[in-house]
Structure 1
Amino acid sequence: MKKLVSLLALLLVLVLAACGQQNEVENTGEGEQAEGETTKLVVGATNVPHAEVLEEAKPLLEEKGIELEIVTFQDYILPNKALADGELDANYFQTVPYMELQMKENEDYKFVNAGGIHIEPIGVYSQKYKSLEELPEGATIIMSNSVSDHGRILSMLEEKGLIKLKEGVEKSAAQIGDIVENPKNLQFEAEVDAGLLPKIYENNEGDAVLINANYALDAGLNPSEDPIAIESPENNPYVNIITVNEGDENNEAIQTLVEVLRSEEIQNFINEEYNGSVVPVTK
């Protein structure tokens, strides 16, 4: 009987010790990452260049104890829905103006910019004309149905001298109705999903098509050579960012992700891989 009591007491001590160790592990996870532990980050991205850049960053993140899982998307809507629903820790595909517009349209979206990574200049593509000057009277200009892109596109066309926008209008929020001078009487069509624009160009529809560099790259186009005009990356507010839910911008793993994506290794990769079609930033 005494042996049985002693055995039970020993088992109780072992169970309590195991529970204490388990609590230690759990408590460590709530604070800083313990040495040797791995943190998993799930990041949503469009295929090109975002997922490719993240793939290149994987081994660098692994060295810092972060296991990166990349979830790819074909559109601009689902990555934000997945982030808001908690299916992602972050996403990497959008600009600040697009993020802000999405939050206005979806009250449950509480997103924060955790850091800018690169710029993808929009290009003007045409199979019929070799320059903007060649565009004829009444030329049809096809652009994305994404309202957040309209101000960006119209600002570029104004900079190139094709149109003039209303005095005092916020450039990033400008819409087709804000055009006050249109010497060539250009006709704007803005009903196409951004991902379908390369197909529109391939089918030779319209006189010129405005295509985001990521979709152009994904379709096999060369955004640094194929466009007849390209958006200037200088002082460009349309930086592609790491987006997180409010409060997660201070997460150590998220900060490490941004740090790695801004590292010299990744900046060199972007410059060499995309040859000006994608331009890295450091803020």
Structure 2
Amino acid sequence: MLKTALTLAALLASLSVSAADALRVAADPIPHAQILEYVQKLDPGLNLKIIEIPSGVNSNELLAHGDVDANYFQHLPYLNSQEQALGQKFAVAATVHIEPLGIYSHRHASLAQVPDKGTVAVPNNVTNLSRALYLLQANGLITLKPGFNDASKDQATPKDIAENPKHLKILEIESPQIPRALDDVDLAVINGNFALEAGLQPARDALGLEKAEGNPYANILVTTPKLLDDPRVKQLAKDLRSPAVAKFITETYAGSVIPVATE
């Protein structure tokens, strides 16, 4: 906790010396900050200050407190849960890309090899926990109770598992820490950005991967309602939705990060 507090203090100190006209954008290191760095090269006239956010720092709190002007790291269901938790309204400036959630293992080459009473690490935050359970269901490992049909609306917890034929033990872990648990569990459900940071290639390494079509978990550029019409935010949103950035995402991440439709 002390380390997180010191990290946050150092981060806020660095933000205080930002250029007055720079658009301060908080982002996860991979792939979000990398994409923003490409945007900066693509559009030199857009003055960005890209702040890579370490684990344990809530980018939405930074945005709510005015420490940054926008953030780029999350999907809409997570943003909705954050608005409720923080009592704060935010605004979506652009929908940019999808990072398919994946199931990984260091112990097994296929899901069929997972033993009875195997262990499965899943994210412990509400939206990604539910998302993980739907992915396990899509791959035939569990079945959720009737009524859980829409992953973006019907949020599931382990209590909502109706059938668990392999008697899998669900372990809830903080999302950034899950890759480190791969050697200790049979399966791990990992967010795309954390998989990439750990050296995994979702399109190649995942034993089960979310489909891109109809996926409600596209990553978004988020700002405040007050800044939604700021020319800098609007230009960044336009750049992120451009064919050039879509091409960069497609070529750089080889199916592990998927651009949404361009403008």
TM-score interval w.r.t. the shorter chain? 0.7 to 0.9
Give the corresponding residue for 2:76.
Answer: 96
Partner letter of residue 70 of structure 1?
A: I
1:179: which partner in 2? 161
Distance 1:193 1:149 in 2: 10
Partner of 1:49: 31
How far has the Cα of 1:76 moved from its partner?
6.4
* Residues 22-77 of structure 1: per-residue CA shift (max 9 Å, x gap): xxxxxxxxxxxxxxxx9521100010000000000003332xx3201100102364
Query: Which residue identity does 2:42 align to in structure 1?
Result: L
Report SS of the residue matched to 1:224. helix
The structure having more radius of gyration, on CA atoms, is 1
Alignment: residue pair count: 240
Q: Is the 8 A contact 1:92 1:240 kept in 2?
A: yes
Residue of structure 1 in register with 2:179 after alignment: 198
**Which residue type is aligned with residue 153 of structure 1?**
A
Per-residue deviation, 1:228: 1.5
Deviation at 1:123, TM superposition (A): 1.2
> How far 1:268 moved relative to its partner?
0.7
Deviations 1:86-107 (A, max 9, x none): 1111000001111111111111
SS in 1 for 2:33: helix
Alpha carbons 1:51, 1:70 under 8 Å: kept: yes
Residue in 2 that maps onto 1:236: 215
Q: How far 1:249 moved relative to its partner?
A: 2.0
Tell me how far apart the structure 1 counterparts of residues 249 and 56 of structure 2 sit (CA, whole Å).
22
CA shift at 1:84, angstroms? 0.7
Q: Which residue of 1 aligns with 2:89?
A: 110
1:82 aligns with 2:81: no
- Distance in 2, Cα, partners of 1:207 & 1:266: 36
Contact 1:39–1:66 at 8 Å: present in 2 too?
Answer: no
- Deviations 1:205-260 (Å, cap 9, x if unpaired)? 11001111111111222222122221111110001000111232222221211110
Indicate the larger mover: 49-58 or 119-128.
119-128
For residues 125 and 55 of structure 2, what CA distance do their matches in structure 1 show?
11
- Paired residue secondary structure (1:103): helix
Residue 226 (str. 1) matches residue 208 (str. 2): no
Any gaps of 5 or more consecutive residues in structure 1? 1-37
Instruction: Give the drift of 1:269.
Output: 0.7
SS of the aligned residue for 2:184 comes to coil
| Paired residue type of 2:180 | K
Equivalent position SS for 1:88: coil
Contact 2:123 2:132 in 1 (8 A): no
Deviation at 1:282, TM superposition (A): 2.6
1:60 corresponds to 2:39: no
Contact 1:146 1:193 in 2 (8 A): yes
Where do 5+ consecutive residues of structure 2 fail to align? 1-19
- Give the 3-state SS of the residue equivalent to 1:171 in structure 2: coil
Asked whether the equivalents of residues 74 and 195 of structure 1 are also in contact (C-alpha less than 8 Å), the reply is: no
**Cα distance, 1:127–1:49 mapped onto 2, change above 3 Å:** same
Provide the TM-score with structure 1 as the length reference.
0.81
Match of 1:139 among 94, 118, 129: 118
Letter in 1 for 2:184: E
Seq. identity, %: 38
Contact 2:102 2:207 in 1 (8 A): yes
Name the residue aligned to 1:18.
Answer: none
Q: Please tell me whether the aligned partners of residues 137 and 144 of structure 2 are also in contact (alpha carbons under 8 angstroms).
A: yes
Would you say the 8 A contact 2:28–2:53 is kept in 1? yes
Which position in structure 2 is the counterpart of 1:212? 191
Deviations 1:172-207 (A, max 9, x none): 3111111111111111000x2111111111xx1110
Q: TM-score, normalised by structure 2?
A: 0.87
